[in-house]
């Protein structure tokens, strides 16, 4: 289980996750795998600006489009990750080829386990944004929070179900399939 931390460690990188990497979601195991590095849950956060969080591709993947000021303020989770885990996330998100790790501003949301003061805490963190996308993606419903089991009627098709043992091989096949299909992003 994730540990809620109260103090930011300067040797760590703070990352905002909004989709299948969140707690309870299908790819959270990437953050839990200690052989890939260290990831410590800080708590929930919300983007300071609106972004389009949409579901796309035949795998029903949540994408945060790099279009600040459009969409909704997005709720996700903050993790402090070490350099090894940041490299793992870069590989998982295919940074910089598919997603781009960008600086975004978020507000931490109070929760019962942490001792966040009642004043809003804003901070600049890393987030993985999709910079190259088709215009029709703006026609998709924008979400404020993603859950695989949400009422969006587009359940996530876990890449791991392709029958391969390694995340890396799953991602290679996933990205190749999506780059070539008509509904692909690029």
List the catalytic residues: 93
Q: Which parts of 52-145 are beta strand (E)?
A: 53-56, 61-64, 72-81, 99-108, 121-130
Which whole-number Å values give the CA distances from 150 to 2, 15, 20, 95, in the listed order? 22, 23, 12, 27
Catalogue the E-assigned strands of 4-159: 13-17, 39-51, 53-56, 61-64, 72-81, 99-108, 121-130
Place of tokens 């090894």: 84
User: What are the structure tokens assigned to 170, written together?
Assistant: 């799953």
Contacts for 103 with CB less than 8 Å, ≥ 6 apart: 124, 125, 126, 127
């Amino acid at each position: 289980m994730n540990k809620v931390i109260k103090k930011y460690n300067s040797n760590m990188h703070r990352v905002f996750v909004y989709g299948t990497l969140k707690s309870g979601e299908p790819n959270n195991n990437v953050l839990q795998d200690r052989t890939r590095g260290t990831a410590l849950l800080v708590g929930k956060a919300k983007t300071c600006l609106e972004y389009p969080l949409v579901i796309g591709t035949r795998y029903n993947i949540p994408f945060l489009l790099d279009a600040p000021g459009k969409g909704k303020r997005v709720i996700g989770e903050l993790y402090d990750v070490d350099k090894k885990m940041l490299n793992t996330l870069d590989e998982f998100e295919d940074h910089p080829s598919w997603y781009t790790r960008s600086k975004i501003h978020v507000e931490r949301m109070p929760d019962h386990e942490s001792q966040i003061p009642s004043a809003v805490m804003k901070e600049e963190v890393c987030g993985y944004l999709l910079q190259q996308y088709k215009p029709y993606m703006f026609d998709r419903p924008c979400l404020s929070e993603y859950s695989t089991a949400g009422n969006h009627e587009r359940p996530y098709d876990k890449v791991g179900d392709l029958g391969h043992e390694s995340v890396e091989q799953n991602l290679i096949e996933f990205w190749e399939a999506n780059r070539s299909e008509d509904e692909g992003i690029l």
